[in-house]
Structure 1
Amino acid sequence: MMKNGGGGGGGGVASPIVVLSVVFAASIAIVFVLGYFSDRANGFGSFYSGSEAELKIPRVELVTAAARTRNDESRAVLSSEFSSKFKPTVRRRANNKLEQGLARARAAIRKAASIRNKSVIITKNDILSSAIYWNPSAFLQSYKEMERRFKIYVYQEGEPPIVHDGPCKDIYTSEGRFIHEMEHGNNKFRTSNAQAAHVYFMPFSVTWMVKYLYKPNTYDLTPLKVFASDYVKLISTKHPFWNRTQGADHFMLSCHDWAPHASRGDAFLYNTSIRVLCNANSSEGFNPQKDVSLPEIHLYGGIVNPKLISPPPSNTSRPYLAFFAGGIHGSIRPILLKHWKDRDSDLHIYEYLPKDQDYYDSMLRSKFCLCPSGYEVASPRIVEAIYAECIPVILSDHYVLPFSDVLRWDAFSIQVDISEIPRLKEILLAVSEDKYMRLKEGLRAVRRHFVLNQPVERFDMFHTILHSVWLRRLNLRAR
């Protein structure tokens, strides 16, 4: 499937080399600590404190559903910071001009981050609110630095369709559209000069791996792991870039549920590289210090349903308190259906939507849209709810929400512990009208970050994904 060979791979007992590589990967991964995951006072946070020799390393703690309280911030990760004299030991022959540019970007972002709790005016009618963003000033400065500097090299190795292609019209749309934009879009981030790149993109599609390599009903994911392993062997043999950092400045992107399993084909890809994944499950190896949570978008026919393009005005009546329709997948939905299916006229909860009802009409007539995880944590219902201005109610464990390094999810969604599902109606009724309207305003403010435009536009989903990758690259210091 790939040009220029690529070596073997496969399952079996881990060799000593693999074990050593995992250990090394774990040690090198610390260079990806995210200064942007800050404490509650800092918001967006800062990279370093004191002199350049002193690196501030955040200790990141995942906030599980059980650990949250009603007054807690609805954030994917929180951190408490401590100082260290540790210096990253990434053995990359530093491009001085490139690294100096990143140093200037860090300094500019640190300066902007010191302006706390201030909204930022972009244009006359465009404001980044401190109610929606952890630190609007830092985000805007970081975004501008990304636009000014960020360069991405896309590997040309590999043959379509598994490489340089991806799905653009189904539940894995996020994967195919990003690959297509990087390969064919008129964006200014891609560079043909690999020496000038900040990061390196491996444009393979796990969704197409499953389509062309996986044998149905076997649940044998070895072919996916072998392909990922072979691709890494190919690029690391042909080019010097992977070996400089053991893949720490490389990234893959996939929306398929099995993408984390495919990435296990190479220990450094799994432990050290940036993995942009819809299946952002922190209990299954997703590491928000280096990995990126990718929104899942289901575009039937490749377009947003016309009913969701322009939601009705805010004062339009929404007679349903909550809505959900979906099959029994995973462990959460059976609990939801057990307690609320056909139990209450205010909560329209269905396993199968009645034939006389339209799915999107039901969303537009509901104040809250329930978004329970299925077999995996991500759900396209979250983005659909954002489009419909129907407040997403997140019912999930261990899900690192997309773009939570800059967005305050509690400003436009509600998270309910699984144990609290029996109290769901009580919890939703307790949301005051003022808070409900603020949540709707939050949905309108963040919508642009979840839209796939053609051609791409500032702050849209393509750019916000890149910004998440940019943040992680900023914390890798080569010397």
Structure 2
Amino acid sequence: MAIPSLLLSPLLLLLVLLRPPFTTANSAVYFSKTTIFSDYEKMITNLKIFIYPLPNQLHQQYNSTPFTLLHNSLLTSNFLTHNPNQATLFFLPFPPMSTRSLDRHVKLVRTTYPYWNRSLGADHFYFSSQGVGPTSSRNVAELKKNAVQIACFPVPAREFIPHKDITLPPSSVLSRAHPQSEGLSTRFLGYWRFAEVGSGVELINGLRNDGEFLIESEPYDEGVFLERVQSSKFCLFVYDVEGVGGLSVALSHGCVPVVITDRPIQDLPLMDVIKWSEIAVFVGSNMGPNKLKRALIRTCEDGGYDRMKRLGVAAAHHFAWNESSPQPYDAFNMVMYQLWARRHAIRYSKWEI
């Protein structure tokens, strides 16, 4: 039976909106594109989130947190439900506070509502920009051990549980990604911005006098920064320092990230979805400037650079925040997807010290 012409356009529009941003050519960046697409469609239809009311005295503090963008997107999304009995997950909002205050806040939730005690918080999630540290408080310990934590990347060591917690895509990208124009020439092999680089300072300083690298200490405005990124093959970042949020910008503009780190990284955004080894280079701070340069040149010569650039631009769609109207597979929806993937809560039968 033919589809009526009046229905054809809406159906086509729906297919376009649901179409994933990957093709056979760039599917290598995902652990399983088939699973992602299938699970994403189920998530769009079935995920429902109930948000606990925030006490009046906490409203002003909460609105000042970097989580406002994600929270506002959730409030206007189809994932929101006002019926907790329909909820897949429960969101516990709170501003940065002391351990004692957080203990009281979680205690209020568990004594006012029946939902926390059903799983000891395992079907709940919360936001903490830098993670929740060790504590002897029962309420806070259950929150940290059982609930899904959403934190800002990078997260301090020992305050992130890889199999459970997730990180927000870097907040420096608040609009759609704008991929680097095809054919735009690159003047530099590598680019670095910012002066303080912690354990990577020696490696970075060793490149300052090399004409193939642009090493700058001044945090120029966004326009200048984007120009520098687009004119460089690789963008250098030191893990655990301010400025690493530029990872998203580098990817979307075709500059392959080079992440300098002294320890394994377990908190990269979308780490259980995207193969970061396909879109970024990871090196130790003790590598030495000459060895680093040779490694980057070798990557360009063996064809690895072109592949990583192409896959990085494709993956950048997932790091774009569309503040006014979230788009399929963008940063907001991929955070929701990661929460959906963690919906099978582990039930803890009793409190254990």
Distance 1:139 1:293, change over 3 A: same
Q: Which SS does the other structure have where 2:28 is aligned?
A: coil
Letter in 2 for 1:162: Q
Question: 1:177 matched to which residue of 2?
Answer: 69
> Residues 251-295 of structure 1, C-alpha deviation per residue, up to 9 Å, x if partnerless?
1123x33x3339986111112111011245484131111111222
Q: Which SS does the other structure have where 1:405 is aligned?
A: coil
Query: What's the CA shift for 1:313?
Result: 2.0
Distance in structure 1 (CA, Å) of the matches to 2:135 and 2:253: 34
Q: Which SS does the other structure have where 1:148 is aligned?
A: helix
Question: 1:451 matched to which residue of 2?
Answer: 320
Q: Which SS does the other structure have where 2:247 is aligned?
A: helix
Question: 1:203 matched to which residue of 2?
Answer: 93
Distance in structure 2 (CA, Å) of the matches to 1:283 and 1:461: 24
Structure 1 runs of 4+ aligned residues shifted over 6 Å read 262-265
Q: Confirm or deny: 8 A CA contact 2:191 2:228 kept in the other structure.
A: yes
Q: Confirm or deny: 8 A CA contact 2:237 2:260 kept in the other structure.
A: yes
Q: Confirm or deny: 8 A CA contact 1:332 1:373 kept in the other structure.
A: no
Q: Confirm or deny: 8 A CA contact 2:20 2:329 kept in the other structure.
A: no
Question: 1:97 matched to which residue of 2?
Answer: none
Query: What's the CA shift for 1:239?
Result: 0.3
Asked if 1:411 corresponds to 2:310, the answer is: no
Asked if 1:470 corresponds to 2:344, the answer is: no
Query: What's the CA shift for 1:233?
Result: 1.2
Asked if 1:362 corresponds to 2:228, the answer is: yes
Query: What's the CA shift for 1:204?
Result: 2.1
Distance in structure 2 (CA, Å) of the matches to 1:166 and 1:152: 22
Distance 1:138 1:264, change over 3 A: farther
Q: Which SS does the other structure have where 2:313 is aligned?
A: helix
Q: Confirm or deny: 8 A CA contact 1:319 1:366 kept in the other structure.
A: yes
Q: Confirm or deny: 8 A CA contact 2:119 2:347 kept in the other structure.
A: no
Q: Confirm or deny: 8 A CA contact 1:151 1:189 kept in the other structure.
A: yes
Residue in structure 1 matching 2:305, options 436, 451, 456: 436
Asked if 1:285 corresponds to 2:182, the answer is: no
Q: Confirm or deny: 8 A CA contact 1:372 1:379 kept in the other structure.
A: yes
Query: What's the CA shift for 1:228?
Result: 2.0
Residue ranges of structure 1 left out of the alignment (5+ in a row): 1-121, 207-222
Query: What's the CA shift for 1:350?
Result: 2.5
Question: 2:186 matched to which residue of 1?
Answer: 318
Q: TM-score, normalised by structure 1?
A: 0.61
Distance in structure 1 (CA, Å) of the matches to 2:91 and 2:116: 11
> Residues 351-379 of structure 1, C-alpha deviation per residue, up to 9 Å, x if partnerless?
33689x92221111111111112447x82
Matches within 5 A, 1:326-337: 326-329=194-197, 331-337=198-204
Query: What's the CA shift for 1:323?
Result: 0.4
| Equivalent pairs, count | 321
Matches within 5 A, 1:2-401: 123=19, 127=23, 129-159=26-56, 160-163=59-62, 165-167=63-65, 172=66, 175-183=67-75, 185=76, 187-206=77-96, 223-254=97-128, 256-257=129-130, 259-261=131-133, 266-281=140-155, 283-298=157-172, 303-304=174-175, 309-329=177-197, 331-340=198-207, 342-352=208-218, 358-375=224-241, 379-396=244-261, 397-400=263-266, 401=268
> Residues 96-155 of structure 1, C-alpha deviation per residue, up to 9 Å, x if partnerless?
xxxxxxxxxxxxxxxxxxxxxxxxxx7498526431111111111111111121111101
Query: What's the CA shift for 1:188?
Result: 1.1
Distance 1:358 1:134, change over 3 A: same
Distance in structure 2 (CA, Å) of the matches to 1:405 and 1:251: 18
> Residues 231-259 of structure 1, C-alpha deviation per residue, up to 9 Å, x if partnerless?
211111110111111111111123x33x3
Q: Confirm or deny: 8 A CA contact 1:236 1:243 kept in the other structure.
A: yes
Distance in structure 1 (CA, Å) of the matches to 2:154 and 2:136: 15
Distance in structure 2 (CA, Å) of the matches to 1:145 and 1:317: 42
Distance in structure 2 (CA, Å) of the matches to 1:475 and 1:354: 45
Q: Which SS does the other structure have where 1:431 is aligned?
A: helix
